[in-house]
Amino acid sequence: MATQFREEEENPFANFDFDSVQLEENANPFADFNFSEAGFGGESDSLGYSFDRAMKAGGRGLSELLPRMGLDVPQGIQDYSAKLQNAGEVGMQDYVPEYQGEITQQSLKDVPGFLGEKLAENATAMGITMFGLTLGQSLMKGPGVSKLVGAGITGATAGFNYLMLLDEAVETHAAAAGKTVDDLSESELGNASFTAIQNAGLDFILPGIWARSMKKAGMPANKSLKELADNLKTTDKEKIGSMLYKGVKQTLKSSLIEGSIESAQQANMMRTSVLGTAGINPESMLTDFAVGAAGGGLYGTPASVSEATAVNRSRKADKAILDFADVQAKVKAGEQYKSDVQSYSKDFDKLLAEYDSIVKDVKLGK
């Protein structure tokens, strides 16, 4: 029994007949899996729609729009992007939004759900753009390698955002002209591209504000040690009420800025179309403002928290500096004490030697 156990321990599959298992080549292990039931691609999956839309926009931009504008995109990238575009378009076809029309056409109780659905529909584009541009611009304010990493992240995010805005611009311009995107001329595509560049520039505003706010928040004050100590003695930590006020104020600021940017981008797309400013729909503008404001407040939460806690974190940083300076002073005092002790010891030894010399002279009668 012991011998048999050791053999099984060394090779637990010694008696297993692998030939009895029929493995079908090129089988798809997920052939019978229902991805819709898992939450991907379902009719109410607005988050999935946002991802499909990003694939479609990025894929069409690289495989079709940029080459039609004369840009040399490698064939391999075009082929892969065309597959992304097709996958995105197929996924978008299955999506049916729960809320139809503009925000003004919703009942008051449906407005939160309407805004939530619109935010989810734009989650991929808005999330990547805001996070990427904020992170990139924050890193670009740092030293050395950090600047290079930040520039890379900012550039990649800006490129993605441009493709998203280009796709939106060509569809808006085509609809305004009563055409399909395939019917747009090279000059019309160029006009849509310039519009997308303008709108992409607007998207740098809020992440730039967030990056600057989070960089300076919680930093130690540029003061002398005495001024830092006096400030800590004469001021108190901010209370929760004051912190909440600052957080809400920053959130409202982010909401107003992003809402205005979304409205401006929509107006700019219509302005540069064949319809001009006459094509601007006030209800659509209001919807874009509301969705942008909701997104600005939501995605700006880290910046709001940073602003709300800035004073207390700055005080903590000031105290850390004072504590470090105190430790340095104690270390320096200790070193001076050791130096003084050594000097005293030398003087004492010298005095003792002189005393011994005097005693010897007295004994010798000198």
| pLDDT tier, 223 (very low <50, low <70, confident <90, very high otherwise) | low
On whether the CB atoms of residues 84 and 61 are closer than 8 A, the answer is no
Cα torsion 49, 265, 162, 169: sign: positive
Instruction: Tell me the average pLDDT across 83-91.
Output: 91
Report d(CA 318, CA 146) in Å as an integer: 25
User: 268-287: per-residue pLDDT in tens?
Assistant: 999 999 999 999 999 999 99
Give pLDDT, residue 273: 94
User: 297-319: per-residue pLDDT in tens?
Assistant: 988 888 888 877 777 777 777 67
| pLDDT tier, 39 (very low <50, low <70, confident <90, very high otherwise) | very low
Q: Is the pLDDT of residue 364 over 70?
A: no
Q: Which amino acid makes up residue 331?
A: V
User: 167-185: per-residue pLDDT in tens?
Assistant: 999 999 999 999 999 999 9
Give pLDDT, residue 366: 56
Give pLDDT, residue 343: 73
User: 90-115: per-residue pLDDT in tens?
Assistant: 989 889 999 999 999 999 999 999 99
3-class DSSP assignment, residue 238: coil
Q: Which amino acid makes up residue 56?
A: K
Q: Which residue has the higher pLDDT, 142 or 33?
A: 142
Q: Which amino acid makes up residue 359?
A: V
Q: Which of 138-142, 166-170, 216-220, 328-332 has the lowest mean pLDDT?
A: 216-220
| pLDDT tier, 29 (very low <50, low <70, confident <90, very high otherwise) | very low
Report d(CA 279, CA 276) in Å as an integer: 6
b/e per residue, 175-210, with b = 16+ CB within 10 A? ebeeeebeebeeebbebbbebbebbbebbbebbebb
Report d(CA 239, CA 311) in Å as an integer: 10
Q: Is the pLDDT of residue 5 over 50?
A: no
On whether the CB atoms of residues 176 and 215 are closer than 8 A, the answer is no
Burial category of 67 from C-beta neighbours within 10 Å (exposed 0-12, middle 13-18, buried 19 and up): middle
Give pLDDT, residue 41: 41
Q: Which residue has the higher pLDDT, 33 or 149?
A: 149
Report d(CA 208, CA 136) in Å as an integer: 9
Q: What is the mean pLDDT of the chain?
A: 81
Instruction: Tell me the average pLDDT across 321-341.
Output: 72
Q: How much helix, strand and coil, in percent to the nearest 5, is found in the chain? A: 75, 0, 25
Give pLDDT, residue 8: 40
Rg of the chain taking only CA atoms, in angstroms: 35
On whether the CB atoms of residues 161 and 129 are closer than 8 A, the answer is yes
Report d(CA 133, CA 206) in Å as an integer: 9
Report d(CA 256, CA 144) in Å as an integer: 35
Give pLDDT, residue 30: 45
Phi, psi of 220 (to 5 degrees): -65, 150
Q: Is the pLDDT of residue 6 over 60?
A: no
Report d(CA 206, CA 127) in Å as an integer: 13
Give pLDDT, residue 189: 94
Give, in degrees to the nearest 5, the angle at Cα 24 between 19 and 25.
Answer: 110
Give pLDDT, residue 155: 94
Burial category of 322 from C-beta neighbours within 10 Å (exposed 0-12, middle 13-18, buried 19 and up): middle
Instruction: Tell me the average pLDDT across 226-249.
Output: 78
Instruction: Tell me the average pLDDT across 62-70.
Output: 93
Give pLDDT, residue 156: 94
Q: Which amino acid makes up residue 175?
A: A
| pLDDT tier, 210 (very low <50, low <70, confident <90, very high otherwise) | confident
On whether the CB atoms of residues 294 and 121 are closer than 8 A, the answer is no
Give pLDDT, residue 10: 46
b/e per residue, 154-170, with b = 16+ CB within 10 A? beebbebbbbbbbbbbb
Burial category of 53 from C-beta neighbours within 10 Å (exposed 0-12, middle 13-18, buried 19 and up): buried
% of residues, the chain, pLDDT over 70: 77
Q: Which residue has the higher pLDDT, 215 or 132?
A: 132
Q: Is the pLDDT of residue 7 over 50?
A: no
